[in-house]
Amino acid sequence: MPTILFAARPERWNIYAPHLRAALAEVGLPDARLVTEADPQDVDYMVYAPNSKVQDFTPFTRLKAVLNLWAGVEDVVGNATLTVPLARMVDDGMTNGMVEWCVGHVLRHHLGMDAHIHGQDGIWRSGKVPPLARDRRVGVLGFGALGRAVATALMPFGFQVSGWSRSPKEVAGVTTHHGAAGLSEILATSDIAVLLLPDTPATENTLDAERLALMPKGAVIINPGRGPLIDDQALLDALDAGHIAHATLDVFREEPLPPDHPFWAHPAVTVTPHIASETRPSSASRMIAENIRRGEAGEPFLHLVDRDLGY
């Protein structure tokens, strides 16, 4: 039976242990040894979070795979001591959470809800009725597990949805773009842009001054992806110039976002504290157990990270 080391933060153990045990039993591995401490040479699989105390994988000579609890792998993908397969987290629960957060924030901006939430001052502001979704263009940058789910959830409202990815994609009802030329196309046609790209050398500053200028005047940016996707100063300049109407940001170059960062005080920025979605222990444990089952059966692992691409 395989030995599985839980190498995330210790306080997560009590939350995950019952779910992992149940999921391992479900895939036919009820006797798997699930531990928080082990001789590194005995460990077959590691359930991992990049903020783990394990940063040197060299002693784990028998390791078959590292199973990340997070979707983002930017803090582990470059670890030269990690030479075995690395799987990132794709979890139904996390996907649902991200869909709900993104749809909520898209609707907030689409409907202009702030005007009335903040306008409870006795003034009857009639006459300006919200537009229909079919007249609003939403671009989803990063068309992977999360981006596609968000696009799929927005479509029934009638939004004109487009997606951008590295490689070409075909999705019914969505205008798809890819590569550098595709980025200019999607930005020019996005009234609301949702960023769901990973943090890699190729995605840093995807929204810089030049790219922000391509967006329609009055566009809104929603970033639950990663902080480095945006050039902070370029965004502040575009907001101050009124070219970008609002930015709702969940992720930042430095987290927690320092109290003196200009995003906090900017009237056209909404800061949320990296809460768009998180891994849900019950569904994530099923994902991890399935990958361990696959490893034991000699089948290919799911959701492997491409170490060269960085995601």
Least distance CB 178 / ligand NDP (angstroms): 7
Q: Which is nearer to ligand NDP, 224 or 281 (CB)?
A: 224
Which one, 266 or 274, has the nearer CB to ligand NDP?
274
Apex 73 CA angle, 304 and 20, nearest 5 = 70
- 180's tokens: 């550098």
Question: Shortest gap between Cβ of 64 and ligand NDP (angstroms)?
Answer: 22
* Smallest separation (angstroms) from ligand NDP to the CB of 93: 11
Closer residue to ligand NDP, CB minimum distance, 29 or 286 = 286
The alpha-carbon radius of gyration of the chain (Å, integer) is 21
- Beta-carbon-side half-sphere exposure of residue 288 (alpha carbons within 13 Å): 33
In the complex with ligand NDP, which residue's Cβ is closer, 72 or 85? 72
CB of 32 to ligand NDP, least distance (A): 26
**Minimal CA–CA distance to 138: which of 190, 185, 213?**
190
* Least Å from the CB of residue 169 to ligand NDP: 6
- Residues annotated as catalytic (active site), given as ranges: 226, 274
For ligand NDP, the closer of residues 151 and 220 by Cβ is 151
Site residues, ligand NDP (CB under 6 A): 71-72, 90, 94, 98, 142-147, 164-167, 196-200, 202-203, 224-226, 250-251, 274, 276-278, 311
Shortest distance (Å) from residue 250 CB to ligand NDP: 5
Judged by beta carbon, residue 3 or residue 279, the one nearer ligand NDP is: 279
DSSP readout, 232-301? Answer: HHHHHHHHHTTSEEEEEES--SSSSPPTT-HHHH-TTEEE--S-S----HHHHHHHHHHHHHHHHHTPPP
CA pair distance 104, 251, nearest whole angstrom = 17
Cα 269 from Cα 265, distance rounded (Å)? 8
Closest CA to 212 of 240, 172, 177: 240
- Residue sitting closest to ligand NDP (CB): 144
Burial class (CB within 10 angstroms; exposed 0-12, middle 13-18, buried 19+) of 252: buried
151: tokens are: 């696009």
Could you give the count of Cα atoms lying within 13 Å of 254 in the half-sphere of its Cβ? Answer: 8
